[in-house]
Amino acid sequence: VPSIAFVAGLPKAELHLHLEGTLEPELKLELARRNGVDIGQSTVEQVRATYEFDSLASFLGVYYPAMDVLVTEADFYDLATAYFRRAAADGVRRVEAFFDPQAHTSRGIPIETVILGYHRAAVDAAGLGVSAELILCFLRDFTAESALETLQSALPYLDRFIGVGLDSDERGNPPAKFAEVFALARANGLKLTMHCDIDQVGSIENIRQVLEEIQVDRIDHGTNIVENPELVTLVRERGLGLTCCPVSNSFVTADMKAVEMVALLHFGVLVTVNSDDPAYFGAYVADNYLALAEKAGLDTDELVQLAKNSFQASWLPDAEKQAYL
Ligand code: HPA
Ligand code: ZN
């Protein structure tokens, strides 16, 4: 089994990372103090004890309330900066990070506070050797109108994010619900990606929608595609990246989906490894490579391939991408 030092030494891109999912208990307590927010816990151990879940729904039930401590631009800056430092130590050279504006605007935080704080951190990440960009995610359990209003309110900041995504609870919230807002995003030059979470009801139909109706540039998770060979072939032919998250999978479905990821990798699909919500799942990106390697018995060549895939699937300009391939 390869060592963590080998994995951390591989240059890699992280393409499935929720900035709000990087909120470590220590920072949560500090922000709660700073903003006078009563979170009901006062020690790291108490906070960590709340980070417990065994499904996407129970995870989301812990995840969104935790965001109450994020109030000022400096809070968003500090959260993202802590992550970029940790990612740099794992050999991450490129990050395309998700953020959830509606999780904040719905609490009365202006969208500019969120975007400007995160964006300033992304700019400063260059000083750590990390090229960082942002992907604005819509919450799929909110209405399509709310997504549209969110995109419209973000249009003045179009130079501060490179794409849009879709996250939160997939059940009853298929991709087609957001066809209009994603078309508007595309018309504004943004890249498109959507979560196709693990083992959802209607998963294959949702994957079909993201490919045919939305025409995404990438798929987040998406390993259920193995159930449909035609869709696998389509994803391979289009060269679409799948942003897989092994440790996250083990939490929300009790199955890492290692067999599926490795089968897709060997078939030539652009499988990538990512951390999703590292503070909650206790594993940053290098830990995710290692967890998959241990589970599936990957050799160093396969780990190198996964790291190269992460750049190939990234939205880096081609000239910059080539340097890593
Ligand atoms: N799926 C859905 N919503 C999320 C996720 C995820 O993997 N991570 C953070 N919000
Ligand atoms: Zn995710």
The domain spanning residue 35 has which CATH number? Answer: 3.20.20.140
**In this model, does residue 136 exceed pLDDT 90?**
yes
Q: Rounded to an integer, what is the distance from CA 292 to the centroid of its chain?
A: 18
Instruction: For residue 21, give both structure tokens.
Output: 């999912």
CA distance 283 to 226: 25
Task: Say what the pLDDT of residue 15 is.
Answer: 99
Distance 247 CA to ligand 2 centre (A): 12
Task: Say what the pLDDT of residue 222 is.
Answer: 98
Pocket test for ligand 1, best of 64, 168, 169 (most atoms within 8 A of CB): 168
16 annotated ligand-binding residue:
yes
The residues, ordered by sequence, that sit 6+ positions from 175 with a Cβ below 8 Å of its Cβ are 166, 194, 206, 209, 210, 213, 214
Residues of the domain holding 217 = 4-322
38 annotated ligand-binding residue:
no
- Is 277 touching ligand 1 by the criterion CB < 6 Å? yes
- Is 197 touching ligand 1 by the criterion CB < 6 Å? yes
221 annotated ligand-binding residue:
no
Average pLDDT, the chain: 97
The pLDDT of 249-275, averaged and rounded, is 97
The packing angle between helices 258-267 and 285-296, to 10°, is: 90
Distance 164 CA to ligand 2 centre (A): 13
pLDDT tens string 164-219: 999 999 999 999 999 999 999 999 999 999 999 999 999 999 999 999 999 999 99
119 annotated ligand-binding residue:
no
Its pTM stands at 0.98
Pick the ligand that lies closest to the CA of residue 23.
Answer: 1
Q: Taking Cα atoms as reference points, which of 178, 179, 220, 215 lies closest to residue 198?
A: 220
Number of domains in the chain: 1
CA distance 252 to 184: 32
pLDDT tens string 222-237: 999 999 999 999 999 9
> By alpha-carbon position, which residue is closest to atom 4 of ligand 1?
168
CA distance 132 to 314: 11
Distance 202 CA to ligand 1 centre (A): 17
Distance 248 CA to ligand 2 centre (A): 8
CA-CA distances (angstroms) from residue 303 to 10, 12, 187, 297?
A: 9, 10, 36, 10
CA distance 189 to 179: 16
Q: Taking Cα atoms as reference points, which of 144, 146, 72, 153 lies closest to residue 111?
A: 153
Task: Say what the pLDDT of residue 1 is.
Answer: 80
> By alpha-carbon position, which residue is closest to atom 7 of ligand 1?
276
Q: 272, 307 in Cβ contact below 8 A?
A: no
pLDDT tens string 1-37: 899 999 999 999 999 999 999 999 999 999 999 999 9
Distance 218 CA to ligand 2 centre (A): 13
